[in-house]
Structure 1
């Protein structure tokens, strides 16, 4: 046996047989529900709640506040035990408590159709006892309020959600971590629960449109969902029939699948006997067409939207009456809308400087908050020559796939459960590593990667954020005009995720079947290496992790991705590709060290054009990729003091350190954690984990308003509150890096380097870094691909470490502490003690 020490890793050069990945799976049952743990009844939302008991709403105690304890997701239901007569109730949903005090909750979320309710407020007209259920899911929330809008009383025996995610708690997951530091134990749960909330099983996110063979598509409380067949249309006229069932009818034109569009809302006459008591007639005045640009008619913090104009319809718009709508886009940038033979408006977009989008892109149909409408007989033709581009009566179930409204066809992991409910390619990187140490849902990780592969373009690129409801295999190229292939560095992050999935799961059968597609993506990346500089040059407007041309972060991440791909190639027996990828990675690493290292500042420069500035991502990836030598690693970590701000590190030195609006990213700081541990900066890594992730835990009343048991998207550098206000996702697995870091670096349990370590066939227990951050004991458990769990438990007493390791028969490993290496083989239980420095 040959043992080689390299950057705190131990590589064990032993051959191992292939094994299938172990899969933890659990089918949701109809009885799987989430129930509130607390309720408070009063005249306004209240953060202090008592144990849940049945409750009554009346004119004095009109508001109930429901606390679900942690992040939950599902279809809301309300069990009405009694009522005095027909009443109306308004229900709000929110991750942070303060969302209950805002008119739209913590939404709306109209960036894409979300495969759920686009709004965080819904209103019900209750006329009888029994179960009242919502037809649209709410993807993620901790808080809920119920307000009685009308006279009368209503009593509830129960409320809750029919679960659309696994109901298992972190304590019951296959993967586990524990230590003598309770704060770290709770931080580990943040990422575990975030992955549980964001990863959904096949068909759990039900179709959001109903299709009637006579009346066509029925939509309610949904952003207009767009036809995948029209993404390249331009300067067209759209005609369709619509019937308002309640409130109004909403449609979009010149729209990308996700993002800003020209959007029009026809509001009906809102008859008194049909309108809800909370109807906002200022936002949606009766008998009008509102014209907007953006993703909605109201702003969503980072997604600006505008109501450009409101046009009066010169006759009453009746509910349950069919109207023929015509929307015309002309090359001269005039937009006109007619109802039947009556033109309501014909305006030039040059008079609306905020409307910057071109007259190209798809069209779609929906309904605004608490509104519902039917659509049928869609006809699209060229505005100039009248040639037909599209015909569909919208009465066939096939429209669900075309408009991205069908139930999810794959088990996948979303960016977050309440917002950005898309399958983001680059953001999956942390999730791909959280899954193996917590949920062990290999099927969900594989499903995510396969879903992304299904979106591949002929040149090898993958869609960076595909929507759940579309069929991607046959329509991938249709998304290209909409910007779905932007952020080119996400291709690299996706490639790293592929390796990390195979590394933990040994999912080589699937990897073999998908290998030609991954090779096509790798070839795309290799073509991006600039012949002149030897560095990566991407095309596009910008990259997420750093400079798009000759940047340290992008180039070092590419080295990591290529070396990971070489490991997979080795595992698949493709030695030719493995050699090719390693050679390219080595050449790229040489160019990075020759051109991007700034010896004066002791760090890798931001880019060739800016060697003075540095970034978290450049520092992190240049270390974790192995590009940096031990000396340059130490110097790079010392230079991080230039980035230190509040609870963590700002992304770039270009960002102001005195601007109170600057946010700290748990995502990018999560990349840094691995680099700190690799670079012998364990104490700093431990301090970063606590300073940045502790604000996400409950404690003070202020913390309880925003602690939902999961990892956040951003943290404000000054207030330590969510960084994007109500818009912030408080359940984002991209911010959950400590979950796998604590298992791999604090408990010290991780796969060995290279293909020999795939699925934990070869493993390492290296707990020294856990001791260095002050722990006296820790334990961790993971599921292997070799027929059982791998676990470690260690405890420090009187200068000795007592170790208990349990491993599946047929796996081998090493215990490493400083210079001590204990080889472990041929047993299922290892118990021993070693002397350690005091």
Structure 2
């Protein structure tokens, strides 16, 4: 093997140094130390893990029960599931002997389901009545929930005996869930092509896999959207999510909204690519993007705020920020898939969309936010920092895409516009005293989203500025996580996913890991959490009263506990902490430049992970030994990249991939 040092010095590892290190040539996720962290079931018909609790007179025989009238049993599937439920029921005399209720959180277990429509009294959905035809009485009747009663996300199923007509008990057996997510995957565990592992911090591994599983539960069947206007009481999930009738589509949440949201794709799409690769993780994003293209405004070139099964779509709501997020998602799909034929097919649409954004740039050099719909933040409008950060990131990415498309003139134009925007952004919004950007030119509020995105998309002018922002953002932290200044009493895991990325970009890995342990740890292990998926958001005190004053009607049961926009760690722990990422379309060029933690508290000393593209598997490891770090990388044939460390005295090694492991040792600063 040939290594060429551009800076610093290099030592090749000897075999002795790597004894005991995982070095398998073939990846088998079912027989690795991280396999036990995969939350996905191993079949499409998982059974409950246990009976969680009973109420009234209930005879229990394993997982089968006999319910007396007005008694109740709650099944725990041990993980978030979704779809239909099926079981055998033997009711001697009543054709409506039972009611079913569903919940993601143990907080809402009871005779009524948690809510898919916001209501201050948690009573929108209520329960589902089990109906048995007269011919089925007195037999082991196989009951399946009706098609429209598809339940997108739940962990707990409660069955209540409702019959007042007889004192004869009702028997229930063979309870299963017919999975309704990630269609086409016979064994959901085998869909995982990416992986993440460290023996030093189980919480980080659990967080990575909980994020991956959250995305998996959000890969939906196209005909399982929320029917509008919503059924009340009850629910109906039989509406179209987009423009495809088969396959899968990536949505924002398992229980609700179950819709395409462009902003969410900024986090959920790369998580899907990293966790599930081209075979199982690309199609769902592609179908979401095709939906956005289909509903692109022919006159203005703007993309919709949300997918068709939302009230936002039905009311014609527009969003400048989500328009730019749509373009970032389009570029990112092209980047990972390398599908330039798809890009060429939509190039006129893409061009019109970019020019629509440019048309909103004022004489001051920043885009004016006239369509203020966003992730629910307050204080929008004007020369908003979050909008302009997203639009800058979009312009730089689309400039590169234009170059790949072969349009150098357009690439140059978009690059110039981006640099003009960056100059104005710093001149008009930077508050040097606070070490943060202001939300716009008319306020002294320093937002979490605008500052995090400014660091991630490199609107800063120096590494020192990035570090100042990283430090200043911690002023919003409480014991659970960042309380965002732009929405009262709110911890947003979407915006915090961008803050996590910003800490890594600022080369502050210890701070980033503290954020993961604090916020995502609470999301997994805090009271009333689901334990296997990541919550949509929280109130400042950690309760599920997320967005109570901003559209959610003071209804904690409405909050989603499996929301794909909250999964930032799933791609950032790979691309930022492990440091393995592709840097050109489809991955022919890559880099492994990890952020090595240096703090003493729970410091990670060894890490391994990987992901798959159409070219094959990309895998990497690093291990800290004293003042040195051993790095190892394995990439497909025909690829090339750089291995090195962050820092002012960066040591970089150029590597050509040939399908085998390459090893180096570098000195920590």
TM-score interval (norm. to shorter): 0.7 to 0.9
What does residue 707 of structure 1 align with? 530
Residue 631 of structure 2 is aligned to residue 803 of structure 1: yes
Give the stretch that moved more between structures: 640-649 or 594-603: 640-649
What does residue 774 of structure 1 align with? 603
Write out aligned runs for 1:648-727 (5 A).
648-652=481-485, 662-698=489-525, 703=527, 705-719=528-542, 723=546, 725-727=556-558
What does residue 617 of structure 1 align with? 449
With over 3 angstroms needed to count, the CA separation of the structure-2 counterparts of 1:45 and 1:707, relative to structure 1, is farther
**How many angstroms apart in 1 are the aligned matches of 2:422 and 2:242?**
45
Residue 270 of structure 2 is aligned to residue 433 of structure 1: yes
What does residue 257 of structure 2 align with? 420
Residue 550 of structure 1: which of 378, 383, 390 is its match? 383
CA contact 2:242–2:307 (8 Å) conserved in 1 = no
What does residue 825 of structure 1 align with? 656
- Secondary structure of the structure 2 residue equivalent to 1:648: coil
With over 3 angstroms needed to count, the CA separation of the structure-2 counterparts of 1:561 and 1:170, relative to structure 1, is farther
**How many angstroms apart in 2 are the aligned matches of 1:450 and 1:560?**
21
Residue 94 of structure 1: which of 82, 103, 109 is its match? 103
- 1:726 deviates by 1.4
With over 3 angstroms needed to count, the CA separation of the structure-2 counterparts of 1:720 and 1:468, relative to structure 1, is closer
What does residue 189 of structure 1 align with? 209
- Secondary structure of the structure 1 residue equivalent to 2:596: helix
- 1:541 deviates by 4.9
State the structure with more CA Rg.
1
**Two-structure CA RMSD over aligned residues (Å):** 3.3
What does residue 158 of structure 1 align with? 174
What does residue 130 of structure 1 align with? 141
Residue 72 of structure 2: which of 33, 41, 63 is its match? 63
1:651-694 per-position Cα deviation (integer Å, ceiling 9, x unaligned): 22x666xxxxx121110011111111111222111101110000
With over 3 angstroms needed to count, the CA separation of the structure-2 counterparts of 1:591 and 1:439, relative to structure 1, is same
- Secondary structure of the structure 2 residue equivalent to 1:90: strand
What does residue 173 of structure 1 align with? 192
With over 3 angstroms needed to count, the CA separation of the structure-2 counterparts of 1:223 and 1:749, relative to structure 1, is closer
Residue 155 of structure 2 is aligned to residue 142 of structure 1: yes
With over 3 angstroms needed to count, the CA separation of the structure-2 counterparts of 1:42 and 1:635, relative to structure 1, is closer
What does residue 369 of structure 2 align with? 538
**How many angstroms apart in 2 are the aligned matches of 1:438 and 1:43?**
40
Write out aligned runs for 1:216-615 (5 A).
225=229, 368-369=233-234, 408=245, 411-440=248-277, 441-458=281-298, 459-467=300-308, 482-531=314-363, 533-544=364-375, 547-610=380-443, 612-615=444-447
- 1:78 deviates by 1.6
**How many angstroms apart in 1 are the aligned matches of 2:313 and 2:155?**
37
CA contact 1:95–1:708 (8 Å) conserved in 2 = no
**How many angstroms apart in 2 are the aligned matches of 1:66 and 1:145?**
6
Higher percent of residues as helix: 2
- 1:503 deviates by 2.3
**How many angstroms apart in 2 are the aligned matches of 1:194 and 1:824?**
35
**How many angstroms apart in 1 are the aligned matches of 2:92 and 2:293?**
55
Unaligned runs of 5+ in 2: 8-42, 548-555
CA contact 2:386–2:439 (8 Å) conserved in 1 = yes
With over 3 angstroms needed to count, the CA separation of the structure-2 counterparts of 1:414 and 1:502, relative to structure 1, is same
**How many angstroms apart in 1 are the aligned matches of 2:400 and 2:284?**
22
Residue 42 of structure 1: which of 54, 58, 73 is its match? 54
With over 3 angstroms needed to count, the CA separation of the structure-2 counterparts of 1:645 and 1:44, relative to structure 1, is farther
- 1:422 deviates by 1.4
What does residue 837 of structure 1 align with? 668
- 1:574 deviates by 2.1
**How many angstroms apart in 2 are the aligned matches of 1:672 and 1:485?**
27
CA contact 2:106–2:530 (8 Å) conserved in 1 = no
What does residue 635 of structure 1 align with? 468
**How many angstroms apart in 2 are the aligned matches of 1:784 and 1:404?**
27
**How many angstroms apart in 1 are the aligned matches of 2:131 and 2:245?**
30
**How many angstroms apart in 1 are the aligned matches of 2:160 and 2:296?**
47
With over 3 angstroms needed to count, the CA separation of the structure-2 counterparts of 1:417 and 1:641, relative to structure 1, is closer
- Secondary structure of the structure 2 residue equivalent to 1:649: coil
CA contact 1:64–1:146 (8 Å) conserved in 2 = yes
- 1:482 deviates by 4.0
CA contact 2:84–2:144 (8 Å) conserved in 1 = yes
- 1:41 deviates by 5.5
- 1:77 deviates by 1.2
Write out aligned runs for 1:78-89 (5 A).
78-80=87-89, 82-86=90-94, 88-89=97-98
CA contact 1:192–1:434 (8 Å) conserved in 2 = yes
- 1:521 deviates by 1.0
**How many angstroms apart in 2 are the aligned matches of 1:404 and 1:690?**
34
Give the stretch that moved more between structures: 770-779 or 437-446: 770-779
- 1:2 deviates by 11
**How many angstroms apart in 2 are the aligned matches of 1:169 and 1:45?**
37
- Secondary structure of the structure 1 residue equivalent to 2:173: strand
- Secondary structure of the structure 2 residue equivalent to 1:155: strand
CA contact 1:74–1:139 (8 Å) conserved in 2 = yes
Residue 589 of structure 2 is aligned to residue 762 of structure 1: yes
**How many angstroms apart in 1 are the aligned matches of 2:126 and 2:216?**
21
CA contact 2:118–2:558 (8 Å) conserved in 1 = no
